[in-house]
Amino acid sequence: MVDVTALGARVASSAVAPLVRRLFVRDGPGAGLVDRPVRISALVSFRGEKRSVTPKDLDKIAGELVRRALTSAGPGEEPVDSAEAAAVKDALARTLARLGEITVEDYEAVGLGPERFARELSAGVPLAPYGLGLGGTLLYERLLHTASLHILNFLTQRSTYVARRQTVQTQQLARLIQAVDVLLERLPSQSAEDAGFEERYADHVAARYGTLTIYGLDAGTREWPLDTAYLSLEATRPRHGRHGPGGASGAGPLRLSAEQVLAGHDQVFLRGVAGSGKTTLVQWLAVTAAGRVYDHGMPHLIGRVPFVLPMRRIVRPDAELPLPGDFLRAVGAPVAGEQPPGWAERVLRAQRGVLLVDGIDEIADDRRAAVRRWLRELVRAFPGNLWLVTSRPSAVPQDWLAAEGFHELDLARMGRAEVDTFIRRWHRAAGAEESVGEALRHSVRTTSELNRLATNPLMCGMLCALHRDRRGFLPQDRRSLYEAALTMLLERRDRERELHSPAGAALPYATQVQLLQKLAWWLIRNGRAEMDRDEALQIIGRAIPALNLSGADDQEVYDALLLRSGLLREPAEGRVDFLHRTFQDYLGARLAVQEMDFDLLVDHAHRDEWEDVILLALAHARPKEAEYILRRLTEPGTPRGSLLAAAGLRYAAEVEPGVRERVEEGLAAHVPPAGLEAAVEVAQAGGDLVLGMLPGPDDADERTAYLTVQTAIEVGTEAALHFLSGFRDHPSEDVQRALAGAWDRFDRGRYAHEILAHLTYQSYLVVSTPEDLRTLVPLGGWQRLTVRGSYRVEDLTALIVPERLTHLALDAPHPVEGLSWLSAFPRLTSLYVGTDVDRAVAGQVPAWVEEFETPSHAERTYL
């Protein structure tokens, strides 16, 4: 049996368009002068004085659509019998006749899109009288969707519409037509059972992954719709294994929107720090792939089926890793029991899978080799599917999956533009006054420690919540930030909501913290990301006698922690974990200090997942304890221990001068850094401290100056900006490229004034908003621009200084069609139009453009 939902998509656009065109009257003279939207009912060809198509002809059109769909099924495939096909034709003809009855206007219809427009048409056509079965109903719905898509596309091409509106909707529908052709190639023959299950599974994915937990709203957490809350971040090629200035040229660190990571590579291994948005990206890709809306600009996801595989859920002690048929059951999907036998394997054999393996770092070291073998076997058994595997940066070695064909990328930290966008959206969702959000944005931009904290969505959410909660007063260090968040969640949340009788036992703040610490430290010590409920109950039960909780049993205490703290959750029946790994690390570090487990901490310093635990332990430790940890970290003289100790200085409240000197000497051994990867590590470890150890512009050769600038850029503070201003006149083009490429890491206005205005070599500069372009106008414009993200032609022509622009790169999901507007820039000599990852598309280039080129590898390195 063939998949009847695919048959409508299998009718090629060249066959559907002429049939749809017959439903409408032709444009007459003067039609282009109409200045108001036109009702669709006034355009149809089967009613009114100008009718050219009779109701009988309408039946023929519907019949032809059904016939062509069934013909595309191929010999021997019978999705519906002749009687049901006739019923589908009748229902479709009656639905198309609704075009003459609805009051929707042409522009309004286009704005609805094909899915909602199809529902508008079918709203007045009950299907019960036609007696359609499951196959007939699915065929009717798919043909109606296909017809609706072409109807809307036809409306946008009429002169009455074109003369009135821009071509944005036209481009959108053109992409939808293209999407149909993608579906033609990608959708295989399926049984009606498989097709029906995929519909239900897609609904499950949308419901399960279609919201985000945004920290801090309503003094706690709140679910945000994914399409509203999702913040596009960027991914970059990792810096390891790259030549510096004067070395061999390489591919350079590609920067692309994170949601496009699977556009150019079938298999991606993505690294990102805690809270950077890895899991959010997984959710977005899953919902996008499962959605039946195809104008999202992600053709590689059309017609595919997502499988979300969080490692913390599917890797169980002494249990085998799941085969494809067990994926849904392993993650606790409620629709798993409805899955047709062999369905998952058929999806993967057809190369339609999107496998999203989240959190390699959240499983124990001794299971990671098994996971790599599992991934290798699945990739080899089911080639051609899309794979995204995520992890914290140092959980596994570089190129951990390279032999399996995975391309490594890093999830970039949020730049100033992303932080500003997040703060605005958060305050809008919270119903806070705009001035409150603006005050926070100013504080983040001008306060070094807050600037350092606001690097990922989790920390930004905490800052927003506490800033509002404390009426503008913010903690100035990470420990105080977490402490304030705990107070808000554990102590003030129920009181401020006047919740006097919460579920479970009433637990004092200190008691909740002590119990949560024990759970967190147990997970960290055992290398686990979640535990069985029974394990949690045992830990709580052992703690109760010492906590003065007479009369409360372990289940009551567990319920109170789960329901009221906002920090614990049950991701599956019988399993419990922390809302976010960062809270687990913070609470575990507190107990590690209380238990004086300092040697245990240092002995795990080589493991990435212990790094935050150690730093936060230094924040909790008393001076002598902190000094002991710092001395132990510097003993081996290893780069990781020295850098971790240097990073820990910012967390320790008091450090004896001799110990501080020892730590600084260890850091100095790595300054200036030997390469780009080392520059990142040194900057993250030393912060502002490292700036005083870096050489000045007159004390370094070209390569050292370049690496020095990259280190200061990674520090990213106000002090770093002041330090970088000393290199703005450096003669090295590599240094100047690095400086030009860093302006999105700082306040753009100040950076343009203090750095960009003084550069003598103008390499490509990335702009993403009209405000970016306005910032460059006082400088007299810029010669080489990369416009990243969606743009409006009128903004570019109005804000780019035409006499200055010589090189232009348009790196947008959907570049504006047509290049005639480029004539506004008389000195433009090169053009790059990027529509996909690592792909340049040469359009119709005007004759006056002398050269068509992509930015060179060297130039793209600094984009």
User: Residue 642, class by beta-carbon neighbours within 10 Å (0-12 exposed, 13-18 middle, 19+ buried)?
Assistant: buried
What is this structure's pTM? 0.53
On whether the CB atoms of residues 83 and 141 are closer than 8 A, the answer is: no
pLDDT higher than threshold 50 for residue 12: no
pLDDT at 41 (0 to 100): 45
CA-to-CA separations, 95 to 62, 88, 118, 141, 163, in angstroms, rounded: 9, 10, 9, 11, 29
CA torsion 195-201-202-208 (nearest 10°) is 180
Tens of pLDDT, residue by residue over 812-822, are: 765 665 677 88
pLDDT at 9 (0 to 100): 43
| Domain formed by 202-240+251-412, architecture | 3-Layer(aba) Sandwich (3.40)
Three-class secondary structure of residue 8 per DSSP: coil
Strand 386-391 and strand 765-767: the pairing is unpaired
Distance CA 133, CA 196 (A): 12
pLDDT at 861 (0 to 100): 28
Helix axes 134-157, 13-21, angle to 10 degrees: 70
Tens of pLDDT, residue by residue over 413-431, are: 777 777 888 888 778 777 7
531's enclosing H/E stretch is strand 531-532
Spatial CA neighbour of 466 closest among 430, 420, 517: 430
Residue 78: pLDDT band with limits 50, 70, 90: low
Give residues with Cβ within 8 angstroms of 54, minimum separation 6.
46
Higher per-residue pLDDT: 685 or 221 = 685
pLDDT at 67 (0 to 100): 80
Select the highest-mean-pLDDT range: 533-537, 745-749, 767-771, 859-863: 533-537
Mean pLDDT over all residues of the chain? 77
CA torsion 441-443-445-447 (nearest 10°) is -160
On whether the CB atoms of residues 409 and 401 are closer than 8 A, the answer is: no
The domains of the chain are located at: 4-189, 202-240+251-412, 414-472, 762-863
Residue 107: pLDDT band with limits 50, 70, 90: low
pLDDT at 477 (0 to 100): 76
pLDDT at 423 (0 to 100): 85
Residue for token pair 């009209």: 770
Give residues with Cβ within 8 angstroms of 464, minimum separation 6.
216, 422, 423, 426, 427, 430, 437, 440
pLDDT at 348 (0 to 100): 95
pLDDT higher than threshold 90 for residue 677: no
Give residues with Cβ within 8 angstroms of 408, minimum separation 6.
237, 238, 268, 269, 270, 271, 398, 399, 401, 402
Three-class secondary structure of residue 640 per DSSP: helix
- The angle formed by the CA atoms of residues 558, 205 and 233, to the nearest 5 degrees, is 90
Average pLDDT over residues 79-99: 84
Give residues with Cβ within 8 angstroms of 738, minimum separation 6.
706, 709, 710, 713, 862
Distance CA 541, CA 177 (A): 61
Distance CA 266, CA 761 (A): 37
Give residues with Cβ within 8 angstroms of 854, minimum separation 6.
809, 832, 840, 860
| Lowest-confidence pick of 394-403, 541-550, 849-858 | 849-858
What percent of the chain has a predicted confidence (pLDDT) above 90?
21
| Lowest-confidence pick of 75-79, 281-285, 396-400, 525-529 | 75-79
- The radius of gyration computed from the CA coordinates of the chain, to the nearest angstrom, equals 30
C-alpha distance across the termini of the chain, in Å: 51
Tens of pLDDT, residue by residue over 41-76, are: 444 454 444 444 466 777 877 888 888 777 766 555
Residue for token pair 């990213």: 716
Tens of pLDDT, residue by residue over 695-727, are: 888 888 899 999 999 999 988 877 888 899 999
- The angle formed by the CA atoms of residues 224, 228 and 231, to the nearest 5 degrees, is 100
357's enclosing H/E stretch is strand 353-358
My answer on whether omega of the bond before 672 falls inside 30° of 0, hence cis, is: yes
- The angle formed by the CA atoms of residues 326, 331 and 335, to the nearest 5 degrees, is 75
Residue for token pair 């107990």: 591
Higher per-residue pLDDT: 178 or 81 = 81
On whether the CB atoms of residues 344 and 324 are closer than 8 A, the answer is: yes
Select the highest-mean-pLDDT range: 184-198, 422-436, 728-742: 728-742
Spatial CA neighbour of 360 closest among 346, 347, 374: 374
Distance CA 269, CA 393 (A): 10
